[in-house]
Structure 1
């Protein structure tokens, strides 16, 4: 559907199925960073105002990707963990408050809340496989529940949650709603307004095809000033750039969460990568990705000894397919697949495969054939 040789020529020799971990950059991101480095080497920061235009375009692209009301709702932070920490240590907790999460969360969306225990805050972990997961999560919300923080897609199983249902349920209960969107954003359409979420965050190095070290943090406008700040610097000021000014206040926009100098190199790469997703269109990205996921599911289901550990229903999956193979220890199977140039991960009691919209069909077919051969002994 989309020519891998145009944007991902470096992948022609391998079978890259690891976008749920760290994604390769498209060629346009490589080119953009190369130009940035060469310009910096020749002229330093002479054209810094041009760099700021790239950063502005990045905020605009991210606002569109999340369907945020404004780019003023978008902060550029280091990673998902930092954004979660802004929420966790910004809210005014009281002893006895509760936070609802799932029992399958990546450590980033668990440890940060458990770190509030000295304040008397309790973390309630919910089993997502005991009934309808959204009902289980909402039923766990009691009178002392202040916040629900949930991954849109669970990192190991690939289970996708109904964010609109959760958002409405939290709103009905007066519970703040926080979404770790790292396994969703860039793979499927995302809409902070439809989900009625208060906070959302995601690193750029997975489905957004960008670099590590740069993430997006969405904070609903009316909640920005409710988060107590713990990091201060020149860049988060309302009048950033007026270095002689003695009086100051945090920026009214989400830039208030960006204390120091921006990551211009990362912004250059991520802005270029997001331009590819925008050109293709997120609906088309999602459709192409789901076709590849379906190809993996169909192929794996035909192999004797394969157990699928991920949901197969279209409304319950994103880009992750996790499985186990009888007769093979997961560590040994992962090592064997890597030796055969299948780049994947060992997660959730099995092997996690994660293609993207551009993944060539031959990668899916060759991986399935290889696994069939390994199953046959």
Structure 2
């Protein structure tokens, strides 16, 4: 991993354990944005064909990252919430239809479905804190269930779900399967075909190491025509670039969900960040991340008064480790750690650490020492 060490130039003494929120960029992303800015200053949009080539490479990298059948199955969207809304307000609902979610979802994957209440859609929240969370989710899918929407990894607890089992269960029940993949894509391998996803989406600014404001939306090709469109413009047309054409129809590809001008600046950065993940290889990324998660789990387990809330089983974890400290409220721990340059988050009733594959393990040891000092006061 030393060959990629110079990609991350973090401030001295800083221990960044917050990739589940907003990640630092690798150096190549910053350099790509700097080149893009210089091109704009010097030549405006003269190099627009090259920008389009970068955007195409981004779609291709995203398709490979999630094993989509084609880069035409990938729409570039502003964020996960926009993609979830494309599904929620694209499907045709009937009063009495149900959507099943978990009780640990980030608001994005709850509010989009609750917003359908005026159409008579009921949201069923399933308790995940059981020995068989997948079984509980599938058991909640009854005759009126239209769609199951879950996060691949829960943002608070860090619980990783068995998406392959859920996808198979949905297919057997005739239920659509939607995955908020933001806490898995870029941290662990993700496979829309193996999971049998109908829809999957994620922002680029967490484990994919990109900027805020750009993510992807995967939609199974057979379902694209079934999603009603609510945003229209020049960019989503089948005959893209034919500005004189009077007869039009939406693109057959997932570009139909992109109504207007693309986020070229974001595409420039995210394409560069994904090139790093490809150079490292997602299997290596996952392996290195799990070494660091195990380091945190073992280290925290050895500190008196610390209670780890995240699962210990390898198949149940991704990159999130959440914990509490006996006798200390999460807010005070959070302030103490951030003052000590441990960048983390207050989530899931505790403190959330989220390293990445490149995180210096010596810095993780230092963060653990700072947690230990808190327990001694």
* TM-score scaled by length of structure 1: 0.99
Gaps of 5+ in 2: none
Secondary structure of the equivalent of 2:292? helix
Aligned partners of 2:285 and 2:113: how far apart in 1? 33
Aligned residues: 377
Equivalence for 1:164: 164
Counterpart contact for 2:76–2:216, Cα < 8 Å: yes
Query: 1:244 is matched with which residue?
Result: 244
Q: Which residue of 1 aligns with 2:116?
A: 116
Distance 2:355 2:10 in 1: 15
Residue deviations 1:320-356, cap 9 Å, x none?
0000001211101100100100000000110000000
Cα distance in structure 2, aligned partners of 1:64 and 1:283 = 13
Conserved? CA contact 1:14–1:342, under 8 Å = yes
Q: CA deviation at 1:376?
A: 1.5
Distance in 1 of aligned mates of 2:267 and 2:295? 34
- The reply on whether 1:22 has 2:15 as its aligned counterpart is no
Corresponding position of 1:89: 89
User: 2:101 aligns to what?
Assistant: 101
Q: CA deviation at 1:130?
A: 2.8
Runs of 4+ more than 6 Å apart: none
**1: CA distance between counterparts of 2:184 and 2:81?**
16
State whether residues 201 and 216 of structure 1, in contact with CA within 8 Å, keep that contact through their aligned partners in structure 2. Answer: yes
Q: Deviations over 1:21-78 (max 9, x none)?
A: 0000000000000000001000000110000000000000000000000000000000
User: 1:309 corresponds to which residue?
Assistant: 309
CA distance in 2, matches of 1:188, 1:52: 28
The corresponding residue for 1:199 is 199
Shift of 1:131: 3.3
- By how many angstroms is 1:13 displaced? 3.0
Q: What is the CA distance between 1:221 and its match in structure 2?
A: 0.3
1:4–1:360 CA contact under 8 A, matched in 2 = no
Matched residues in 1 for 2:31 and 2:131: separation?
A: 48
Q: 2: CA distance between counterparts of 1:326 and 1:165?
A: 36
Counterpart contact for 1:150–1:178, Cα < 8 Å? yes
Secondary structure, aligned partner of 1:262: coil
Q: Report SS of the residue matched to 1:337.
A: helix
Contact 2:5-2:358 within 8 A present in 1 as well: no
Secondary structure, aligned partner of 2:335: helix
Q: How does 1:361-372 map to 2 (within 5 A)?
A: 361-372=361-372
SS of the residue corresponding to residue 327 of structure 2 reads coil
**Structure 1, unaligned runs of 5 or more:** none
1:214 maps to 2:214: yes
* Whole-Å separation in 2 of the counterparts to 1:282 and 1:333: 33
Partner of 1:352: 352
- Structure 2 distance, partners of 1:37, 1:313, is 45
Aligned to 2:225: 225
The alignment partner of 1:62 has SS state of helix
1:247-262 matches, within 5 Å, as 247-262=247-262
Contact 2:98 2:146 in 1 (8 A): yes
CA shift in 2, pair 1:65/1:35, >3 Å: same
Residues 22-41 of structure 1 aligned to structure 2 (within 5 Å)? 22-41=22-41
Report the CA distance between 1:2 and its aligned residue.
3.4
Write the distance in 2 (CA, Å) between the matches of 1:166 and 1:252.
Answer: 28
Contact 1:4–1:359 at 8 Å: present in 2 too? no
